[in-house]
Structure 1
Amino acid sequence: MNANSERCVVGVDFGTLSGRAVVVRVADGAELGAAVHEYAHRVIDDRLPGGGPRLGPDWALQSPQDWCEVLRVAVPRALAEAEVSPEQVVGIGTDFTACTVLPARADGTPLCELFPDRPHAWPKLWKHHSAQPYADRINTLAARRGETWLPRYGGKISSEWQFAKGLQLLEEDPETYAAAERWIEAADWIVWQLTGVETRNVCTAGYKGIFQDGGYPSEDFLAELNPAFAGFTGKLGRELSPLGGLAGRLTARAAAWTTLPEGIAVAVGNVDAHVTAAAADAVRPGQMVAIMGTSTCHIMPSDTLAEVPGMCGVVRDGIVPGLWGYEAGQSGVGDIFAWFVDTCVPARYHREAERRGLTAHEHLTELAAAQRVGEHGLVALDWHNGNRSVLVDHDLSAVVVGQTLATRPEDTYRALIEATAFGARTIVEAFEASGVPVAEFVVAGGLTRNRFLMQVYADVLRRPLSVIGSAQGCALGSAIHAAVAAGAYPDITSAAAAMGSRAEAAYLPDPGRADAYDRLYAEYRRLHDHFGDGGMLHRLRALRNESVKEHS
């Protein structure tokens, strides 16, 4: 009998609103049990849990208590559903949204537990975008000094990343900054809670922490931003752990939380998007995986190092050891559709959907799918949550052009779906124009269930779409990494081949629709380039922020 046939691993995916645990068989990746736990505090974007004044514009925080509850609730439930004994489980792996980062003491205690009334003591979620002015300063100074790491990030550092959020912490709350002995990604913090050992993974350090060629930005550079910022990298940790590596062993405390055996392998932390490549068995050069949910992250291994404008980063060993890993992204996708349905759709549409036993999204999708390309007369920019790639500007906002008194909700809904597909095409074209070919486009995440949306993407991209074989891509990817950390497989590539899967060319482009979308995409690019300088959209955002602050 295969030694892996009865062994299992657990993968835990910490998302924006909930955490998910899945129990997976080591031999073939079969998913035996799963459970979801919703965060009690969800996204903290109005007031802190204890009350107090309103948070500023573009704030987004989370609670570490919610993350720990996932371990206490979701993991035991997944084990119960799988009907496996804890002794069969040989490892656990985790992934997180990123950059979700928190200040902590040297023993790992989150500062929000010590200073619950200080907003800056709480973890900043990936979509915390109020650090944009600090990102702008970092980018301006790096460009002026000719910092060699800047081209690795497409020429701009995002406001979502560690350094922009760290500089914001220093300048807006210097006391909390001084108390923060650690500035640590949630991906590494949760592993710390499982093992009792502080580790830093190469993925978040490279993509979110500007770690390139063996080091962080120099103290000289940081001091020019602010003299008190010179020692910032001392909070980050310099020893990086490889992906698929063994971070440590499950402690007695964590074993009690999870009902897993003490001492099993705990894999090095990872980012939700990057770990999904293994679940899709898409870990070879040129396989781009688009993880589509509230936002979309595009990740791709390559044997080529190039400077791609507007990328989130290119990192050696950032997806699988031995290859360069590229990352790009769209800051809003599913969130855009949800916003539209929640705020812009008349009640009669919701009633009709309910009468037919459909969700409002399903009802609108049916209506939109009945249209011909261009029939609605609209084109939209997918910047409702800013632009991550290729403009790297989270102060941008959305635009819809072509609306008339005859425009219907399904028209705008379809235009928003198309806008996100146009945004994805812009990213793919940026890669290929820079000499980094995209050989296969693989989709993963919750939005893959929408067949109409998938077909729009195939038509807009003019290429086949492959679809991941699992609905739990992130959690499965973490489980695959756990199998490697436990020694069941020698490396991520062999583990992905055995445990991951995808349906190749599941959606094929229709030539007629693709031709029509070429014309509409040309209008999108004109709109993209016209508003991409940020002039008008920045001024509107500034007016909004001033008004919010006056009434806080």
Structure 2
Amino acid sequence: MAYSIGVDYGTGSGRVVLLDLDEAAEVAVAVIPYQHGVIDTIFPATGEKLPPDWALQHPMDYLDVLRRGIPAVLAETGVHPADVIGIGIDFTSCTVLPVTQTGEPLCMMAEWAEHPHAWPKLWKHHAAQPIADRMNQLARERDEDFLTRYGGRISSEWYFPKLIEVFEADPDVYQACDAFVEATDWIVWYLTGNLRRNSCTAGYKALWSEDGGMPAEDFFQAVNPGFTRPLDKLGDVFYPLGTRAGQLREHVAEQLGLHAHVAVAVGNVDAMVAVPSVGVSRPGSLVMVMGTSICHLTVSHEEVRLPGITGVVKGGALPGLYAYEAGQAAVGDMFEWFVKTWVPERYLDEATRRHASIYEVLEEEAARLSPGQNGLVAFDWWNGNRSILGDADVSGMIFGLTLATSTADVYRALLESTAYGTRRIIDNFAEHGIVIDELVACGGLPQKSPLLMQIYADICGLPVVVRDSKEIPARGAAMFGAVAAGAKVGGFDSITSASDVLAAPIQRTYQPNAAAREAYDRLYQIYRELHEYLGEKNVHLLHRLKQVRVRSLNDAFVNQLV
């Protein structure tokens, strides 16, 4: 028997999967919530309020996932540690932290603990937006070729906006850190003692490409004249997906209850690792990794530079193919916001009475509505727009509200808004020669919400394939762990061969309903007109609203300090 472990680091928790490589079965799963969670209001080291758009995490939460989760899956199954041959890691990205040359996070050192910039910046830390704006303006003015790989826009979520934010806001932290590393690479470093920066995050988040390298140093100097050595904290060697980073260090293996011979794969991104896990190996499929946000991934044989994506990277998901990423920044987060802030008490009482979740109660009511019956069109911009606008300063909207609008009406509109956003992304791909013929959905939402999946099929007019696994990213990470172990010891010689055997089976396929599609086509035309009007032609209106809110929050923040 041979097993591999996949560790999937999400926004609020980590998941550990033990994958039986002989049976292609997930034999155990451990979910470890982060003790500190998302740090976006109160800074734990001082008790002070954080400024707007901050999102930090605690590295001890990451280690806790390993130290609790791996022994838990071994204990649950009774699998002998000697039978575990590989470990793979995936992580939200771009989640980055400053560390010393030995890999110690600055925030865990007494002299730096009270510096917010010494802490890991979570992917949805958007406080670097002004820096991203400067970078975008300069790249357009200089006609920088690299910008076209990212749909024409750099995101505040990415590596260099966050690093330059540290450089400008807390130079002492910048000087003290020897490396500013993706959290996925840091975990691999912790496990093996080897810093092996992966090519996936470098390509999608740090402006690097296999063919073109990095942007010229004078570009970064134009962003900030003092920022003269952009690779100092990033490094310049990046390892392809599936590469073996090393094996477990002796003391780490002992902590985790494993043997030191376990191979560890280079790190990966939680979205990209899902592609082989759902069995996608060809152009035409759009993988939707659905959780707090959505990442959309598709592949092609040739590179196409198109607007409205967040990146195209050769080998970014599968060897030899160009992988394209797009996405929506608020999905599960938006549904959770609605439940916490808008749902009347009677829904909560009903859920309690039936021993059901509040989402099940809402879904039942929303499912009774026919397409268009709520008379609403909503935009899922509650956390900005990732694709196709690439604009963190737009905000969510609901159109058509009346005194007759019900809770179920609004909930269904929010579900539909995410499908409209996906259809807009599909249209953008098609307009540039990348045709999508099926959607492959994975993550927690597809398992929990049949209504949402049918809405996607009806709005997009495409079949939606749902794979039978709640832990697709962790499963994919385990597959890469098996590849790192190598075929000679019971693993696989490539991620393609691993996918052929280990991809999760199909659970259900949702087909479009013709009548629903016709109704949604009419609504989608309204959506497209509003999208253009408020997201492009008159986007300054939403930007001004954001400016008013941020100014007010900053004033309140300053008053609190005084």
Distance 1:222 1:410 in 2: 49
1:543 paired residue among 542, 548, 555: 548
1:198 aligns with 2:195: yes
- Counterpart of 2:509? 506
Q: 1:121 aligns with which of 112, 118, 121?
A: 118
CA distance in 1, matches of 2:173, 2:468: 45
1:294 maps to 292
Distance 1:49 1:253 in 2: 30
1:501 CA drift (Å) = 2.8
Q: CA deviation at 1:504?
A: 8.1
In 1, distance between residues paired with 2:216 and 2:439?
A: 37
Match of 1:46 in 2: 41
Task: State how far apart, in whole Å, the 1-side matches of 2:25 and 2:299 are.
Answer: 25
Partner AA of 2:496 in structure 1 = T
Aligned-partner Cα distance in 2 for 1:398–1:162:
26
% identity of equivalent residues: 49
Alpha-carbon distance, 1:238 to partner: 1.2
In 1, Cα distance between equivalents of 2:218 and 2:329:
32
Residue 15 of structure 2: aligned partner? 20
* Distance in 1 between residues matched to 2:281 and 2:201, nearest whole Å: 18
Q: Residue type of the partner of 1:49? A: P
Cα distance in 2 between the residues matched to 1:247 and 1:440: 34
| One-letter amino acid of the counterpart of residue 554, structure 2 | K
- AA matched with 2:320: G
Of the three residues 460, 471, 496, the one matched with 2:499 is 496
Aligned residue runs from structure 1 range 101-250, under 5 A: 101-114=96-109, 115-212=112-209, 213-250=211-248
Query: Could you tell me which residue of structure 1 aligns to residue 64 of structure 2?
Result: 69
In structure 1, how many angstroms separate the alpha carbons of the residues matched to 2:175 and 2:369?
58
Q: Distance in 1 between the 2:508 and 2:113 partners?
A: 50
2:94 and 2:184 map into 1 onto residues whose CA distance is 9
Partners of 1:215 and 1:113 in 2: how far apart?
33
Unaligned runs of 5+ in 2: 558-562
Give 1:268-347 correspondences, 5 Å limit. Answer: 268-347=266-345
TM-score relative to the length of structure 2: 0.96
Q: What residue is the counterpart of 2:526 in the other structure?
A: 523
SS at match of 1:234: coil
| Equivalent position amino acid for 1:192 in 2 | W
State how far apart, in whole Å, the 2-side matches of 1:304 and 1:470 are.
Answer: 31
Aligned to 1:91: 86
Distance apart, 1:530 and its partner CA: 1.4
Distance 2:286 2:9 in 1: 22
Code of the residue aligned with 1:288 in structure 2: it is L
For 1:239-269, what per-residue CA distance to the aligned partner results, in whole angstroms no more than 9, with x for missing partners? Answer: 1111111011100122122111113100110
Deviates most, 219-228 or 173-182: 173-182
Partner of 1:265: 263
User: Is the 1:301–1:323 contact (alpha carbons within 8 Å) kept by the matching residues of 2?
Assistant: yes
Following superposition, the deviation at residue 170 of structure 1 comes to 1.4
Which secondary structure does the structure 2 equivalent of 1:33 belong to?
strand
State the alpha-carbon separation in 2 of the partners of residues 62 and 79 from structure 1.
Answer: 27
- Spell out the pairing of 1:414-453 with structure 2 (5 A cutoff): 414-449=412-447, 450-453=449-452
| C-alpha displacement of 1:323 | 0.8
Offset of residue 469 of structure 1: 2.4
Residues 459-487 of structure 1, C-alpha deviation per residue, up to 9 Å, x if partnerless? 00101011122111011000000111100
Give the C-alpha shift of residue 357 in structure 1. 2.4
Residues in 1 aligned to 2:548 and 2:505: alpha-carbon distance in whole angstroms:
47
Deviation larger for 240-249 or 50-59? 50-59
8 A contact 2:467–2:508 mirrored in 1: no
User: In the alignment, residue 357 of structure 1 is paired with which amino acid?
Assistant: H
Per-residue Cα deviation, 1:129-183 (whole angstroms, up to 9, x for no partner): 1111111111110011111110010000111000111121111112211222211
SS at 1:232 equivalent? coil
The amino acid across from 1:549 in the alignment is N
Q: Is this contact kept in 2: 1:469–1:500, CA < 8 A? A: no
Unaligned runs of 5+ residues in structure 1 are: 1-5
Distance 1:230 1:537 in 2: 35
- Residue 286 of structure 1 deviates from its aligned partner by 2.5
Distance in 1 of aligned mates of 2:143 and 2:533: 28
Measured in 1, the distance between the counterparts of 2:20 and 2:357 equals 34
Secondary structure in 2 matching 1:466: strand
- In structure 1, C-alpha distance between the alignment counterparts of 2:356 and 2:163, rounded to whole Å: 44
Q: 419-428 vs 104-113, which deviates more?
A: 104-113
User: Per-residue CA shift, 1:23-80, capped at 9, x if unaligned?
Assistant: 1111242111111111110000012222332111111000111000111001110111
Contact kept, 8 Å, 2:465 with 2:510, in 1: the verdict is yes
After TM superposition, the structure 1 stretch with the greater mean CA deviation from structure 2, 42-51 or 329-338, is 42-51
Matched residues in 2 for 1:485 and 1:156: separation?
34
Contact 1:279 1:470 in 2 (8 A): no
Supply the distance in 2 between the matched residues of 1:283 and 1:269 (Cα, whole angstroms).
20
Give the SS at the match of 2:85.
Answer: strand
Q: Supply the RMSD in Å over aligned alpha carbons.
A: 1.2
TM-score in terms of structure 1 length: 0.97
> Which runs of 4 or more aligned residues in structure 1 lie more than 6 Å from their structure 2 counterparts after TM superposition?
none
Aligned equivalent of 1:3: none
Matched, 1:30 2:22: no
- The residue aligned with 1:479 is 478
- Cα offset for 1:230? 2.1
CA contact (8 A) 1:34 1:82 kept: no
